[in-house]
């Protein structure tokens, strides 16, 4: 606590006497507890802890603690076995044989994890009636079978056959395995109403202990060999980001998952925590609705891209990161470093304004005489509605800056914040929007085909370009990693030239972690994948 | 006494009106002012919020999000409440009663009772959840509405209607009570029309203080609901349109960065608004009628 | 007898009103855009009503996909009851004290100061007060106790374990609710006005003439107005509870209402509405009953 804080706190000491009494009445003091749970703070609560129905990142992180997949990634992001002990990939890349480790499901019965669990999980996820959000993660598996000799119990060998050749299939076999004995045989998973959503049973390092409103308690599943390992984990849910930063000062909270750029300076000064950067495989973009008559015109899209000084906005509002030029994270091998951004190709501010003017004139627009001099075409003003999910509320300064940049360039932009659930329906399903600011977060397997292919599942921007379709198809059928690299570089270039999105930036996220912990490494996607190295000092 | 009260009352009202007019007439185009102010200066006496927008200007524009919507809410509540309350409360003499009128009265009473069982804030929340996207569509059709905080009018209307039920209930019981009193009977016997008895003798003369009180209460409620909703950042007036709650949430922790003025002024503005409203309510209730000086 | 009939009539009336409130909420939600967090679609009204009539409020659609709404409400209800009970107790105690001191020391400086302070505090909306209180308590505890000897509930609103009830958070939230957004000053003023009115009434003069103290008359006569006051307070407190519960993260029904509205949890919202209007109906009935016991005019309406 610095001097100013102490000063501001001075008057509050009067509460002290009362609070001492209150603290004696309300329970044991923290120091008296023998096991200190590792406590981390999230913004919102998970709706479900069922790994087959993951919708929010908070659920991804909790699942990582409770469940295991066949494979996971090491700190160099290379696939390593998690449940898989040994495996061989068939030479044509169309099948894999896996032998599982000897692992047990949480709970007093100590049932072993067997091939049946793997088969059940794949079957349950593939069942359309399950409506699992992870169905796509197993869509490439054609057949799964146990490959033990008759009478082996428990059977730990499986063979998975794929619909098409999959190079490095380990990278895709990261979906979490479910305990088959907890589900009725031959029935689909339940989207809601199954107690498993609330009290999951996994085979991961931590088992579900207890849950109440706003907190979930986990406990190490097996006796830890090292007393300094995390033995208990509490996940707290607290919507107010400022409070999250504030309570870090007091030491009972050991980690805040995401520190906002505006709070970084405050946290940096805090002696109790250290800021841990972790680059996620995510990038921000402005989605443009290609049904909008204005935005159909490539010149207009280019002018819009020109109008936004991405580096400037990112630096002033979001902090560390990189401006991107195409649909990949700069950490991805597919990112084409040779493509240069539109707005900074050697142009100063005034030159850029001229270029925007020229582009818009080419597209048949002129400026209004009065007011802020917006662009008009045949008396129709460029009036764009930018719908943004309230999930981005913490980053609203960046969104406001984008709006201002566009308005100043002559595009009338109305900003609308929609609640996350309404956003999903209005923008993603009904496609009722002109522009949207959003971000994609990928696990390490970045596949942009669903985003830009005219039949893509996530192509909610109505984008349609034959050339793009062709290249995405090529990328899908490519076998050789080098060929794939080359094709993706071309996709990157094409996306940059044709601007289905305005690509914005990829950020470095910061997490605050208590200095009482050492060996903290954070997985860019799952966050908790490497907790085995976390130790109390 | 009356004079002093009147002077103070008109002072406060003038202040509110002037601030509103400035806020309404100031040239404002939403989304243009980010990154225009760096620090406190003579032209920007309160400095800027974290987005670099002039705080004083935003506070003035924020009056758009509560003064007119508040008036809308108050007027809606009172007109709806008085209409329905009078209709459902007026019981004609025994000889002229009809079953239809009874059924209508019962129905209206029921209508008035329903919003009363739900907490008002949650009812407003539900109404806003239902209408927020629809409000966005209206603003797409009429883009100029955006600069005038259209969502706040929605809140005003919702609050007004829900409060209307409460106003209606009070008016109803007052009217029902008045119907049994002698002056109504004698006025009817004198041949005065129903509209005159109900409108002047009962509603104007009897219910006037009640109506004044409700006008202010609903107004304050609109301001409160609007700022609470913007503070909780879900519904209500949305950035970049300023409202008191919006401004507060952006600036409330600036004191940690040494910007005390930025942090304190919006809080003072909100509390000040409520103090002024309470004070006006007080003064109105203390305002003696003409000629009853020293009562 | 007539009191019983009146109570039964009131119960039927309130039941119908509660049902209508649920229908209102249902229609408000059915036009709201958005998908529920568990991916389910809203229930048909008739299905929900028939299930609710059998005591089944269904499964949650968004807050916790694996939980029954009835279980959620059952777990959360005690917290909201404590919150509202504490808030009511605080507001009534504080405003009684205020009114007493205002009447006892009329016209003195202390009265003016306490009146202004009450105005000032009450003019602050609950969300501002909540913010201040959290800051003040956290800093106060830290400065006086230091981190190592700090109690387990510290800092606010952190929870130390899933079994914790969260008394401190609830009491803080309740206090804020009782004071903020004009709750206290409005209650005090109503109480003051009622007391003044009754003190000036003929009954008091009559009682004084017979050698009784005025409170013998005023006390029972105040029950009616106080109950009416409580009724309106409890309504507005529940609305305010949505705000303070979210800020203090108390995990009660108020927080559930907000979360459910955001995650489009149809079943939880309808369940919360039902519980709320039923609780309110019970509250009204009980207060009517108390009134009937205390106030002779209610016992024998023909006599008044």
Distance from CA of A278 to the nearest CA of C (A): 26
What was the pLDDT predicted at A284? 95
Tell me the three state secondary structure of residue A82.
coil
Residues C43-90 have pLDDT tens digits of 999 999 999 989 899 999 999 998 999 999 999 999 999 999 999 999
Residue A293, φ and ψ in degrees, nearest 5: -55, -35
Q: Token digits for B172?
A: 């109803």
Residues B183-207 have a mean pLDDT of: 82
Instruction: Tell me which chain A residues have a C-beta less than 8 angstroms from the C-beta of B148.
Output: none
Instruction: Tell me which chain A residues have a C-beta less than 8 angstroms from the C-beta of B259.
Output: none
In sequence order, what DSSP letters do the residues of A510-535 get, joined into one string? EEEEETTEES---BTTTBSTTGGG-E
**Rounded Cα–Cα distance for residues A449 and A467 (Å):** 13
Strands A95-100 and A84-89, sheet pairing:
antiparallel
Question: What chain B residue is nearest to A420 in terms of C-alpha separation?
Answer: B234
Cβ within 8 Å of residue A515, ≥6 positions away: A271, A272, A273, A274, A537
Peptide bond into C155 cis (omega under 30): yes
**By the 8 A CB rule, do B248 and C128 touch?**
yes
More confident of the two residues B209 and A25: B209
What end-to-end distance do the CA atoms of chain C give, in Å? Answer: 17
**Rounded Cα–Cα distance for residues C129 and C134 (Å):** 9
Please count the residues of chain C. Answer: 304
Q: What is each CA distance from A482 to A485, A488, B177, B283, in whole angstroms?
A: 5, 10, 89, 82
What was the pLDDT predicted at A240? 87
Residues B5-24 have a mean pLDDT of: 92
Which residues does B contribute to its contact with C (CB < 8 Å)?
110, 113-123, 125-127, 129-131, 133-134, 220, 224, 227-228, 231-232, 234, 245, 248, 252, 267, 270-272, 274-275, 278
**By the 8 A CB rule, do B272 and B258 touch?**
no
What was the pLDDT predicted at C9? 86
Distance from CA of A319 to the nearest CA of C (A): 27
What was the pLDDT predicted at A347? 65
Question: What chain A residue is nearest to C139 in terms of C-alpha separation?
Answer: A9
Chain centroid, CA B27 distance in Å: 25
* Chain-chain contact of B238 with A414 (C-beta, under 8 angstroms): no
Environment class of B195 (CB within 10 Å of its CB; exposed 0-12, middle 13-18, buried 19+): exposed
Environment class of C296 (CB within 10 Å of its CB; exposed 0-12, middle 13-18, buried 19+): exposed
What was the pLDDT predicted at B15? 93
* Chain-chain contact of C64 with A197 (C-beta, under 8 angstroms): yes
Report the residue from C123, C243, C277 with minimal CB separation from B274.
C123
Report the residue from C14, C262, C273 with minimal CB separation from B118.
C273
Report the residue from C33, C139, C164 with minimal CB separation from A12.
C139
What was the pLDDT predicted at A9? 44
* Chain-chain contact of B130 with C32 (C-beta, under 8 angstroms): yes
**By the 8 A CB rule, do A520 and A323 touch?**
no
What was the pLDDT predicted at C298? 58
Instruction: Tell me which chain C residues have a C-beta less than 8 angstroms from the C-beta of A40.
Output: none
Q: What is each CA distance from B129 to A45, A426, B227, C22, C62, in whole angstroms?
A: 20, 14, 16, 16, 15
Environment class of A184 (CB within 10 Å of its CB; exposed 0-12, middle 13-18, buried 19+): exposed
Cβ within 8 Å of residue A323, ≥6 positions away: A310, A311, A314, A341, A504, A505
What was the pLDDT predicted at B96? 67
HEC string of chain C equals CHHHHHHHHHHHHHHHHHHHHHHHHHHHHHCCCCCCCCCCCCCCHHHHHHHHHCCCCCECCCCCCCCEHHHHHHHHHHHHHHHHHHHHHHHHHHHHHHHHHHHHCCCCHHHHHHHHHHHHHHHCCHHHHHHHHHHHHHHHHHHHHCCCCCECCCCCCCCCCCCCCCHHHHHHHHHHHHHCCCHHHHHHHHHHHHHHHHHCCHHHHHHHHCCCCCHHHHHHHHHHHHHHHHHHHHHHHHHHHHHHHHHHCCCCHHHHHHHHHHCCCHHHHHHHHHHHHHHHHHHHHHHHHHHHHHCHHHHCHHHC
Closest C-alpha to B147, from B228, B52, B65 = B65
Cβ within 8 Å of residue C71, ≥6 positions away: none
Instruction: Tell me which chain B residues have a C-beta less than 8 angstroms from the C-beta of A418.
Output: 132-133, 136
**By the 8 A CB rule, do C170 and A26 touch?**
no
Using a CB–CB cutoff of 8 Å, tell me whether C231 touches chain B.
no
Neighbours of chain B (3+ CB pairs under 8 A): A, C
What was the pLDDT predicted at A343? 65
pTM for this predicted structure: 0.90
Cβ within 8 Å of residue A235, ≥6 positions away: A39, A40, A42, A58, A62, A215, A216, A218
Report the residue from B130, B227, B270 with minimal CB separation from C29.
B130
**By the 8 A CB rule, do A422 and A450 touch?**
no
Q: Residue B76: pLDDT above 50?
A: yes
Residue A407, φ and ψ in degrees, nearest 5: -65, -40
Instruction: Tell me which chain A residues have a C-beta less than 8 angstroms from the C-beta of B255.
Output: 8
Residue A86, φ and ψ in degrees, nearest 5: -135, 150
What was the pLDDT predicted at B288? 63
Residues B83-105 have a mean pLDDT of: 80
- Low-confidence stretches of chain A (pLDDT < 50) are 1-18, 20-21, 24-33
Residues B37-70 have pLDDT tens digits of 877 888 888 888 888 899 999 999 999 988 899 9
* Chain-chain contact of A217 with C161 (C-beta, under 8 angstroms): yes
* Chain-chain contact of C247 with A53 (C-beta, under 8 angstroms): no
Environment class of C293 (CB within 10 Å of its CB; exposed 0-12, middle 13-18, buried 19+): exposed
Task: Per residue of chain C (304 residues), give pLDDT as tens.
Answer: 577 887 888 888 888 888 888 898 898 888 888 888 888 888 999 999 999 989 899 999 999 998 999 999 999 999 999 999 999 999 999 999 999 999 889 888 989 998 888 888 888 999 999 999 999 999 898 888 887 788 888 888 888 888 888 899 999 999 999 998 888 888 998 899 889 888 888 888 888 888 888 887 888 888 888 888 888 888 889 889 999 999 999 999 999 999 998 889 999 999 999 998 888 888 888 888 888 787 666 555 554 4
Residue C125, φ and ψ in degrees, nearest 5: -65, 155
Q: Token digits for C83?
A: 């919150």
CA quadruple C263, C267, C268, C270: dihedral positive or negative?
Answer: positive
* Chain-chain contact of B233 with A385 (C-beta, under 8 angstroms): no
Please count the residues of chain A. Answer: 537
More confident of the two residues B246 and A25: B246
Distance from CA of A22 to the nearest CA of C (A): 8
**By the 8 A CB rule, do C302 and C3 touch?**
no
- Mean pLDDT over the full length of chain B: 86
* Chain-chain contact of C75 with A193 (C-beta, under 8 angstroms): no
Strands A232-237 and A38-42, sheet pairing:
parallel
Torsion of CA C190, C196, C198, C201, to 10 degrees: -140
Environment class of A128 (CB within 10 Å of its CB; exposed 0-12, middle 13-18, buried 19+): exposed
Closest C-alpha to A284, from A184, A394, A398 = A398
More confident of the two residues A475 and B36: A475
Mutate to test the interface with B, among A380, A417, A418 (most CBs of B within 10 A): A417
Mutate to test the interface with C, among A192, A197, A237 (most CBs of C within 10 A): A192
What was the pLDDT predicted at A5? 45
**By the 8 A CB rule, do A272 and A249 touch?**
yes
Residues B247-264 have pLDDT tens digits of 998 888 888 788 888 889
Question: What chain A residue is nearest to C249 in terms of C-alpha separation?
Answer: A238
């Amino acid at each position: 606590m610095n001097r100013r804080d102490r000063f501001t706190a001075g008057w509050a000491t009067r509460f002290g006497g009362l609070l001492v009494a209150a603290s004696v009445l309300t329970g044991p003091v923290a120091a008296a507890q023998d096991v200190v749970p590792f406590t981390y703070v999230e913004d919102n609560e998970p709706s479900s802890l069922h790994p087959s129905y993951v919708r929010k990142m908070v659920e991804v992180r909790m699942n990582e603690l409770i469940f295991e997949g066949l494979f996971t990634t090491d700190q160099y992001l290379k696939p390593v076995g998690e449940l898989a002990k040994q495996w061989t990939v068939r030479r044509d890349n169309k099948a894999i044989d896996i032998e599982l480790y000897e692992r047990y499901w949480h709970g007093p019965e100590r049932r072993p994890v067997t091939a049946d669990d793997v088969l059940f999980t794949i079957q349950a996820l593939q069942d359309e009636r399950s409506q699992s959000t992870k169905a796509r993660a197993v869509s490439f598996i054609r057949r799964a079978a146990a490959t033990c000799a008759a009478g082996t119990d428990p059977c730990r060998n499986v063979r998975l056959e794929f619909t098409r050749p999959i190079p490095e299939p380990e990278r895709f076999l990261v979906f979490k395995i479910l305990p088959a004995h907890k589900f009725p045989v031959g029935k689909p998973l339940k989207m809601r109403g199954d107690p498993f959503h609330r009290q999951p049973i996994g085979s991961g390092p931590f088992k579900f202990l207890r849950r109440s409103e706003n907190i979930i308690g986990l406990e190490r599943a097996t006796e830890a060999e090292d007393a300094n390992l995390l033995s208990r984990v509490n996940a707290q849910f607290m919507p107010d980001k400022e409070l999250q930063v504030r309570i870090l000062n007091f030491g009972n909270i050991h980690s805040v998952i995401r520190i906002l750029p505006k709070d970084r300076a405050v946290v940096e000064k805090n002696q109790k925590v250290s800021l841990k950067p972790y680059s996620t495989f995510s990038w921000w973009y402005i989605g443009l609705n290609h049904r909008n008559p204005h935005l159909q015109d490539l010149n207009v899209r280019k002018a819009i891209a020109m109008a936004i000084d991405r580096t400037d906005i990112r630096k002033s509002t979001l902090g560390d990161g990189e401006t991107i030029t195409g649909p990949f994270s700069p950490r991805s091998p597919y990112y084409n470093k040779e493509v240069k951004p539109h707005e900074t190709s050697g142009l100063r501010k005034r030159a850029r304004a001229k270029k925007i003017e020229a582009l818009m004139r080419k597209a048949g627009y002129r400026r209004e005489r009065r007011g802020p001099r917006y662009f008009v075409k045949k008396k129709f003003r460029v009036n764009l509605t930018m719908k943004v999910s309230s999930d981005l509320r913490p980053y609203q300064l960046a969104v406001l800056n984008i709006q201002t940049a566009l308005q100043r360039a002559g595009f009338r932009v109305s900003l609308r914040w929609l609640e996350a659930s309404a956003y999903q329906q209005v923008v993603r399903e009904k496609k009722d929007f002109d522009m949207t600011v959003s971000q994609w977060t990928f696990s390490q397997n970045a596949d942009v085909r669903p985003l830009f292919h005219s039949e893509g599942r996530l192509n909610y921007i109505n984008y349609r370009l034959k050339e793009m379709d062709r290249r995405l198809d090529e990328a899908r059928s490519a076998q050789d990693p080098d060929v794939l690299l080359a094709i993706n570089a071309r996709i990157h270039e094409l996306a940059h030239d044709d601007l289905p999105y305005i690509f914005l930036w990829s950020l470095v996220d910061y997490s605050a972690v208590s200095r009482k912990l050492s060996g903290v490494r954070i997985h860019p996607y799952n966050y908790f994948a490497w907790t085995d190295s976390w130790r109390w000092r | 006494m009356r004079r002093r009260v009147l002077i103070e009352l008109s002072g406060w009202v003038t202040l509110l009106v002037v601030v509103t007019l400035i806020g309404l007439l100031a040239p404002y185009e939403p989304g243009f002012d980010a990154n225009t102010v760096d620090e406190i200066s003579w032209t920007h006496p309160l400095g800027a919020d974290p987005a670099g927008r002039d705080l004083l200007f935003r506070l003035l524009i924020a009056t758009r999000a509560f003064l007119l919507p508040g008036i809308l809410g108050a007027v809606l509540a009172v007109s709806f409440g008085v209409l329905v309350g009078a209709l459902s409360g007026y019981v004609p003499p025994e000889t002229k009663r009809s079953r239809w009128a009874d059924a209508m009265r019962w129905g209206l009473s029921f209508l008035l009772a329903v919003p009363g069982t739900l907490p008002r804030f949650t009812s407003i929340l539900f109404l806003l959840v239902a209408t927020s996207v629809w409000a966005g569509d209206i603003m797409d059709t009429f883009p100029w509405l955006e600069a005038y905080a259209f969502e706040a009018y929605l809140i005003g209307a919702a609050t007004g209607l829900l409060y209307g039920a409460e106003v209606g209930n009070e008016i109803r019981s007052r009217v029902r009570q008045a119907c049994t009193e002698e002056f109504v009977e004698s006025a009817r016997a004198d041949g005065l029309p129903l509209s005159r008895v109900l409108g002047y003798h009962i509603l104007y003369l009897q219910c006037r203080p009640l109506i004044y009180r409700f006008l202010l209460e609903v107004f304050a409620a609109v301001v409160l609901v609007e700022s609470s909703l913007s503070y909780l950042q879900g519904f209500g007036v949305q950035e970049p349109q300023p409202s008191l709650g919006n401004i507060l949430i952006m600036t409330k922790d600036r004191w940690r960065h040494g910007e005390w003025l930025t942090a304190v002024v919006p809080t003072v503005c909100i509390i000040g608004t409520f103090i002024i409203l309470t004070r006006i309510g007080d003064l109105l209730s203390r305002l003696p009628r003409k000629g009853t000086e020293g009562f | 007898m007539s009191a019983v009939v009146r109570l039964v009539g009131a119960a039927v009336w309130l039941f119908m009103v509660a049902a209508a409130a649920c229908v209102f909420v249902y229609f408000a939600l059915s036009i709201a855009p958005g998908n529920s967090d568990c991916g389910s679609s809203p229930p048909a009204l008739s299905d929900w009503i028939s299930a609710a009539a059998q005591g089944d409020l269904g499964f949650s659609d968004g807050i916790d996909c694996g939980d029954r709404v009835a279980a959620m409400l059952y777990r959360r209800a005690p917290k909201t009851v404590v919150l509202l009970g504490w808030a009511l107790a605080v507001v009534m105690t504080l405003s009684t004290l205020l009114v007493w001191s205002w009447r006892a020391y009329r016209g003195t400086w202390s009265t003016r100061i306490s009146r202004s302070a009450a105005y000032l505090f009450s003019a602050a909306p609950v969300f501002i007060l909540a913010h201040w209180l959290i800051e003040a308590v956290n800093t106060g505890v830290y400065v006086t106790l230091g981190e190592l000897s700090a109690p387990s509930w510290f800092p606010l609103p952190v929870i130390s374990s899933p079994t914790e009830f969260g008394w401190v958070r609830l009491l803080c939230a309740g206090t804020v609710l009782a004071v903020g957004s004009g709750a206290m000053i409005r209650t005090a003023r109503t109480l003051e006005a009622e007391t003044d009115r009754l003190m000036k009434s003929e009954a008091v003069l009559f009682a004084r003439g017979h050698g009784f103290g005025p409170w013998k008359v005023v006390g029972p006569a105040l029950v009616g107005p106080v109950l009416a006051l409580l009724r309106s307070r409890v309504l507005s407190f529940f609305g305010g509870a949505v705000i303070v519960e979210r800020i203090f993260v108390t995990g009660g029904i108020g927080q559930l209402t907000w979360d459910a509205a955001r995650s489009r949890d149809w079943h939880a919202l309808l369940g919360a509405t039902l519980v709320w209007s039923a609780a309110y109906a019970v509250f009204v009935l009980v207060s009517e009953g108390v009134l009937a016991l205390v106030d002779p005019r209610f016992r024998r309406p023909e006599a008044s």
